[in-house]
Amino acid sequence: MYHAIVRAKTRRVWARMARGDYRAAVDMAAPTVRFRFVGDAAPAAELVGRDAFERWFADLYTLLPDLRLRLTDVVAKGWPWKTTVVVRLAVDSTLADGSRYENEGIQWVTLRWGRMVDDYVLEDTARLAAAIERQRRAVAQAAGSR
């Protein structure tokens, strides 16, 4: 029963995320949340704290304003004092040059008493880096033509 509740709560959070409301994740984060987005290029990050976590999301949505994140599967295990939630997600966006960015990722979260204390995200970073480069070029070109 507990795992069904966790999966339902996770689906509700991701439903908000799918609408671009990243506050859903920030609200669930513990004040000392540890967040890692694996990679070498932006938006790769390794940070600690809810404020830094929120800034990361704000920066991400500035970079990719049309970003859409969608949960495709969720698994939960453990007990309230240490719950593991694994999410498979789909990522897509329309870039400033009109091209599509599509990707997928895995999120591995540790919850303690309903608060996210650790969030580890893996995405195809080569595909992401190429999309970000296209986005930056298109934005720079649009700014230069004004």
Q: What is the pLDDT of residues 33-76, one digit of tens each?
A: 999 999 887 789 999 999 999 999 999 999 898 899 999 999 99
Predicted pLDDT at 139: 86
90 lies in which domain range? 2-144
What's this model's pTM, rounded to 2 decimal places? 0.89
Which is it for strands 100-112 and 82-94: parallel, antiparallel or unpaired?
antiparallel
pLDDT band of residue 141 (cuts 50, 70, 90) is confident
Answer yes or no: is pLDDT of 146 > 70: no
Sheet holding 100-112, edge to edge: 45-48, 29-37, 115-123, 100-112, 82-94, 68-79
Is the separation of the CB atoms in 36 and 110 below 8 Å? no
Number of domains in the chain: 1
- Within 10 A of 7 (CB to CB), how many other CB atoms are there? 16
Mean pLDDT of the chain: 93
User: Which one-letter amino acid corresponds to residue 146?
Assistant: R
pLDDT (tens digit per residue) in 79-103: 999 999 999 999 999 999 999 999 9
User: What CATH number did the domain enclosing 25 receive?
Assistant: 3.10.450.50
C-alpha to C-alpha distance for 81 and 83, rounded to whole angstroms: 7
Task: List, for residues 96-136, the tens digit of each pLDDT value.
Answer: 999 999 999 999 999 999 999 999 999 998 899 899 889 88
Q: Report the distance separating Cα 25 and Cα 9, nearest Å.
A: 11
Question: What six digits make up the tokens of 120?
Answer: 């580890």
Whether pLDDT at 144 is above 90: no
